[in-house]
Amino acid sequence: MSKENLNFEEIKNEIMKNIEFKKLTLDQVRKNMHIKGETMQASFINAINELEEEGKIYLDEEGYYKKFDSKQLGKVQGIIHINKTGQGFVFIEYKGNKIKYLIKEEDLNGALENDVVVLTNIHHGKTNYADAKVEKIIKRHTGKTIFEYNGNGEFIPYTIHGNVTVICPKDQLRKIVTGDRVLVTMDKECIATIENKAVFEAKIEKVVGHKDDPDIEVSTIAAEHGFLKEFPKDVIKQLKKIPDKVTEEDLKDRKDLRDKIIFTIDGKDTKDMDDAISIIKTNDNHYILSVHIADVTHYIKEGSPLDIEAKKRGTSAYLAGSVIPMFPHQISNGICSLNEGVDRLTKTVDMYISPEGEILDYLIYNSVINSKKKMNYDDVNKILEKNIIPKDYALFKEDLLIMKELSELLTKKSQDKGKVDFGTDEIKAITSPTGEPISFESRSQHTAEKIIENFMIAANSCVAEYHKWLETPEIFRIHGDPNDDNLIEALKTLKIEGLCPKEKVDSLINKIKNGHYSSKDLNNFLENFKENENYLLISKIILKSMSKAKYSSTCDGHYGLGLNYYTHFTSPIRRHPDLIVHRFTNPYENYTPSELLPYYNTLPEICEHDSKMEREADKAEKETLDLKMAEYMQRQFENDHTTIYQGRIINMTPYDTEIRLDNNIIGHVTPQDLAHAKAIGHNQKLKLGQKVYVLIKEVSIQHRIIYFNLNYKELSKAKQKIKE
């Protein structure tokens, strides 16, 4: 019978029925289903591919499709993750248990991060771990990675692991030279195996640079994650039409705030300043807090080249002292940056706040400001924490003290509402003007940083509430409630590793199991360990059990902040969602219902893309930090092979032991080195949070990783001192 009236899901169901009890080739399934016509052929092929990607059907080497029965086939399918040491792993839920399949570097078979793969040669151990090999790649996540051209048509993988090479079209080879780093898109099919190397066809997307270029390593990281320094020609052309100063015509329908005491507080090196603040304390002890945000939408019109490029990039990427901006510097550092002493167009949120820190009312409007001072966190902290008044700050001291007072009220109010204060273990690379790493500092939040955080959260929540009650399309920032099982597992880890007392862990676990748990309970739990030497580790383990915040077209609340309404409004220079929120924060009288209707369909896709690019920017920032650490330790290693470093174990798995040194450098000890140590008589049991002593074993700039050897002699001395 004809299948012309079947919808896509019905076609998938028919395919499954055909191969339920027997294996069939593609043509056999097609004939059985009487697939005819160009439209039905396309739907049929798409359905077959989707079923394979979903792990419901399996295509064997002989070209037969069969139902994917894991037990019968001796295979599993899932998304692969690859860590820095080259070990791959795939998580599979089976009968309520989560099994982790481990894949050695030599068994990756060309798989890249987040690819959908089929695993074979599975060997289960006594725990919830199993060893396996990648048999084939079902779906590439992006397929994009970096290769280095060695001449003679040979490409060497630069950032990925495993024995892999690619073949690119000959016409593309004419445009590159030996030593060029290229961004390629790899096909998913392995076309050959030559000298133990899996060979894939690939297309060169971009020449990133030459291996001898001074900033090639950072450029390599940026390109692999989708951030390119160059802007398209049409963007450069549009820039010529962007003014470099505010005109009288720009001031139409804007509230003039240029005579107000308004200033910015940022890092010393910040050049893209998109937020400024001002404050008034009334006679009855209420506060009028004003947050002024650069009005980027005045210059970036919807559908223009600059707008399209911002949508593509999603965010700026900050990479160890350098930035790859979402907008060219003429925009990000120029006309839209709230620089000191110049007129700038802004959107202002005035908030009327009670003496207890409750936001009673707010008003959002277009404005023009003239920032009176470019402040930096260090100088403001001197005033607020040490009563030291730096030069040119005396005029602003009173306002800063009122801001500190309000910030403390907002902190208390947010905790009352359920905000969870996670400790941060972020590290910042301090580099020379040429990018050479000098040291690595923990990112600490002092009074000034907390003021800006609290004020921006307040403005973001007001804007989100404004749009929620308007019931018009908008982008929101959401953070879901934690999965109870994941949170309980994290808490059990803290107990097993001896990081937290059994009674405190069990008390919180019982609350979770009985359904009497809230974010306040979690925050109170963490508060118990603020002075504990392993507080950051405890906080990190809890945080890893939670979902990541993301962008959404629905207002589902923000668990971590304890807010029902939240969005991102305060950084339109460097985040695309904020640009969209600004665009919709214009008076809705300017829109007709028919103009708003398309956004209900497009916003979910925009939210998904912007969330993805945010994650890519985070990965690029992390990899650049790892690169700088590797460069720093390679220099130390070249000077002295015998230096002993002290650190603490911050992560342990069967495939990796991660150690953070006292100088904030992070390195790894491989399972092979641990096994070797045991084989020669070092049987000390290691645990999370333990202090250890290490020597540098090896540094790889290419993979941005440092390998340590544990120094058991020093470890034994330390253990003996504890006993004594």
How does the average pLDDT of the chain come out, rounded?
A: 91
- Both tokens of 523, joined, read 């925050």
**pLDDT attached to residue 587:** 63
Q: Which is nearest to 631 in space by CA: 323, 214, 225? A: 214
Coil, helix or strand at residue 585 = helix
The tens digit of pLDDT for each residue in 656-707 reads 899 999 999 999 998 888 877 766 666 678 889 999 999 999 999 999 999 9
**pLDDT attached to residue 719:** 55
Angle between helices 502-513 and 484-496 in degrees, nearest 10: 170
pLDDT, mean of residues 171-178: 92
Which range (145-159, 484-498, 546-560, 702-716) has the least confidence? 702-716
Q: Is pLDDT of 722 > 70? A: no
Q: What class is the 70-139 domain? A: mainly beta
Decide whether 144-213 matches 640-723 in CATH topology. Answer: yes
**pLDDT attached to residue 153:** 79
Contact assessment for residue 42 and residue 90, using Cβ atoms and an 8 Å cutoff: no
Helix (H) or strand (E) holding 371: none
**pLDDT attached to residue 601:** 87
CATH number for region 144-213: 2.40.50
Share of the chain above pLDDT 70, in %: 96
Highest mean pLDDT among 269-273, 470-474, 497-501, 607-611: 607-611
Which range (89-98, 181-190, 231-240) has the least confidence? 89-98
pLDDT, mean of residues 503-519: 90
CATH number for region 640-723: 2.40.50.140
Per-residue pLDDT band for 393 (boundaries 50, 70, 90) equals very high
- Please identify which residue in the block is written with the tokens 């069969």: 66
What is the rounded CA–CA span in Å between residue 518 and residue 176?
58
**pLDDT attached to residue 723:** 39
The tens digit of pLDDT for each residue in 68-88 reads 988 889 999 999 999 888 889
**pLDDT attached to residue 1:** 43
Domain locations in the chain?
A: 8-67, 70-139, 144-213, 233-477+565-622, 481-546, 640-723
The terminus-to-terminus CA distance of the chain in angstroms comes to 86
Q: Is pLDDT of 460 > 80? A: yes
- Please identify which residue in the block is written with the tokens 């450029």: 219
The tens digit of pLDDT for each residue in 10-50 reads 899 999 999 988 999 999 999 999 888 888 899 999 999 99
The pTM of this model reads 0.90
Cα→Cα distances 615→313, 498, 549, 551, Å: 12, 32, 10, 11
Cα→Cα distances 531→8, 527, 536, 659, Å: 58, 9, 10, 21
The tens digit of pLDDT for each residue in 104-156 reads 999 999 999 999 999 999 988 767 788 999 999 999 999 999 999 998 878 99
Coil, helix or strand at residue 420 = coil
- Both tokens of 451, joined, read 């003021």
Which range (193-197, 343-347, 453-457, 477-481) has the least confidence? 193-197
pLDDT, mean of residues 636-654: 89
**pLDDT attached to residue 724:** 38
Which range (179-183, 217-221, 529-533) has the least confidence? 529-533
pLDDT, mean of residues 304-327: 95
